[in-house]
Amino acid sequence: MHTYFKTLFRNVKIGVSQAARGPQSLAFVAASILAAYWLGAAALFLTAPLILLAFHAGDPTNRAGPDTGDIGQMREEVERAVKRARKKSLRTACMAVQIDDFDTLLNRYGRATTNLIISCCHDRLARALRSSDQLFDLSNGRIGVLLAPVRQFGLEPALELAERLQSTVQEPISLGNTTAYISVSVGLCLDGHAPNDPGKALLDASLTALDNALRQGPSKVRAYSSGMPAAAPHRVADELEKAFETDQFVSWFQPQISTDTGQISGFEALARWVHPRAGLMLPAEFLPVLAFTGRLEQLGDATLRNALRAIQTWDTIGFDIPHVGVNFSPEELRNPQLAKKIEWELDRCNIAPKRLAVEILETVVATSPDDAITRNINALAEMGCLIDLDDFGTGHASISSIRRFPVNRLKIDRSFVMKVDRDIEQQRMISAILSMTERLGLETLAEGVESAGEHTILSQLGCDHVQGYGIARPMPLDETPDWISAHQAKVHPPPVIGRIVG
| Residues of the shown chain interacting with ligand C2E in the complex, contacts defined by CB under 6 A | 218, 254, 270-271, 282-284, 287, 296, 299-300, 303, 327, 329, 390-391, 414, 447-450, 468-469, 474
Cα(63)–Cα(56) distance, integer angstroms: 8
The interface partner of residue 442, options being ligand C2E, Ca ion, none and the CB cut-off 5 to 8 Å by kind, is none
> At 324, which helix (H) or strand (E)?
strand 324-327
Residues 433-472 that bind Ca ion (CB under 5 A): 447
Q: How far is the CB of 258 from Ca ion (least distance, A)?
A: 18
Residue 359 lies near Ca ion (rule: CB under 5 A): yes
Distance in angstroms (rounded) separating the CA atoms of residues 280 and 287 = 14
Binding flag, residue 101, Ca ion (CB under 5 A): no
Is 285 one of the binding residues for Ca ion (CB under 5 A)? Answer: no
332 interacts with Ca ion by CB under 5 A:
no
Question: Are the C-beta atoms of residues 187 and 210 closer than 8 Å to each other?
Answer: yes
Q: What is the DSSP string of 425-457?
A: HHHHHHHHHHHHHHHHT-EEEE----SHHHHHH
The entry of Ca ion, ligand C2E, none near residue 453 (CB within 5 to 8 angstroms by kind) is: none
Q: Is 42 in a helix, a strand, or coil? A: helix
> What is the phi/psi pair of residue 65, to 5°?
-150, -175
* CA angle, residues 344, 347, 353, in degrees to nearest 5: 95
Phi, psi of 186 (to 5 degrees): -130, 135
Q: Which is nearer to Ca ion, 100 or 359 (CB)?
A: 359
Among 32, 327, 401, 480, binds Ca ion (CB under 5 A): 327
Binder of Ca ion out of 211, 362, 391, 454 (CB under 5 A) = 391
DSSP code of residue 249: E
Write the CB contacts of 44 (distance below 8 Å, at least 6 apart in sequence).
33, 36, 37, 204
Nearer to Ca ion, 359 or 443 (CB): 359
Q: List the single partner that 448 binds among ligand C2E, Ca ion, none, CB under 5 to 8 Å by kind.
A: ligand C2E
- Taking alpha carbons only, the member of 159, 163, 125 closest to residue 145 is 125
Report, in Å, the least distance between residue 173 CB and ligand C2E. Answer: 18
Q: How far is the CB of 411 from Ca ion (least distance, A)?
A: 5
Provide the minimum distance between the beta carbon of 258 and ligand C2E in the complex, in angstroms, as a whole number: 17
From the CB of 98, what's the least distance to ligand C2E, in Å? 14
Toward Ca ion, which CB reaches closer, 239 or 390?
Answer: 390
Least Å distance, CB 237 to ligand C2E, is 20
Answer whether 215's CB lies under 8 Å from 285's CB. yes
Q: Compute CA 336 distance to the chain's CA centroid, rounded to the nearest angstrom.
A: 28
Give the one entry of ligand C2E, Ca ion, none that residue 344 binds, where binding means its C-beta sits below a cut-off of 5 to 8 angstroms depending on kind: none
Q: How far is the CB of 414 from Ca ion (least distance, A)?
A: 7
Query: Which stretch of DSSP H or E encloses residue 107?
Result: helix 102-128
Closer to ligand C2E by Cβ: residue 9 or 249: 249
Strand partners, 323: none
* Among Ca ion, ligand C2E, none, partner that 469 touches (CB below 5 to 8 angstroms by kind): ligand C2E
Angle at 327 between CA 324 and CA 332, to 5 degrees: 130
Selection from ligand C2E, Ca ion, none that 477 binds (CB < 5 to 8 A by kind) is none
DSSP H or E run through 195: none
Q: Check binding of 390 to Ca ion (CB under 5 A).
A: yes
User: Which residue number, 120 or 302, has a Cβ lying nearer to Ca ion?
Assistant: 302
First-to-last C-alpha distance (Å) of the chain: 85
User: Least separation, in Å, of the C-beta of 474 and ligand C2E?
Assistant: 5
Cβ nearer to ligand C2E, comparing 224 with 252: 252
The DSSP annotation for 108-137 comes to HHHHHHHHHHHHHHHHHHHHHS-TTSEEEE
Q: Could you list the residues that contact Ca ion (CB under 5 A)? A: 327, 359, 390-391, 447
